[in-house]
Homo-oligomer: A and B are copies of this chain.
Amino acid sequence: MRNIKKEIRIVGFDDAPFIPRSKGNVPIIGVVFRGGKFLDGIFKTEIEIDGMNATNILTRLLNNSKHKEQLKVIMLNGITMGGFNMIDISKLSKKTGLAVIVINRKKPNLKKIKKALKRFNNFEKRWGCIKNAGSIYMMKLEKNKNTYYQFNGLKQKEAERIIKLSCTRSLIPEPLRVAHLIASALIKGESGGRA
Q: How far is the CA of A44 from the CA of B41 in the complex (A)?
A: 18
B39 touches A190 (CB 8 A): no
On chain B, the residues within 8 Å of A163 by CB distance are none
On chain B, the residues within 8 Å of A184 by CB distance are 42
In the complex, how many angstroms separate the beta carbon of A150 from the nearest chain B beta carbon? 26
Within A101-156, the residues touching B (CB, 8 Å) are none
On chain B, the residues within 8 Å of A8 by CB distance are none
Q: How far is the CA of A191 from the CA of B67 in the complex (A)?
A: 10
B38 touches A181 (CB 8 A): no
Interface of A is mostly: mixed
A194 at the interface (CB under 8 A from B): yes
A42 touches B185 (CB 8 A): yes
On chain B, the residues within 8 Å of A41 by CB distance are 181, 185, 190-191, 193-194
Q: Among B43, B66, B67, B182, which residue has its beta carbon within 8 angstroms of that of A42?
A: B182
A189 at the interface (CB under 8 A from B): yes
B181 touches A44 (CB 8 A): no
User: CB-defined interface of A165-185 with B at 8 Å, one 1/0 digit per residue?
Assistant: 000010000000010011011
A interface residues with partner B (beta carbon < 8 Å): 29, 38-45, 61, 65-67, 169, 178, 181-182, 184-186, 189-191, 193-194
Given A41-B185, A45-B189; 4 other pairs, CB 8 A cutoff: A38-B169, A41-B190, A42-B184, A43-B189
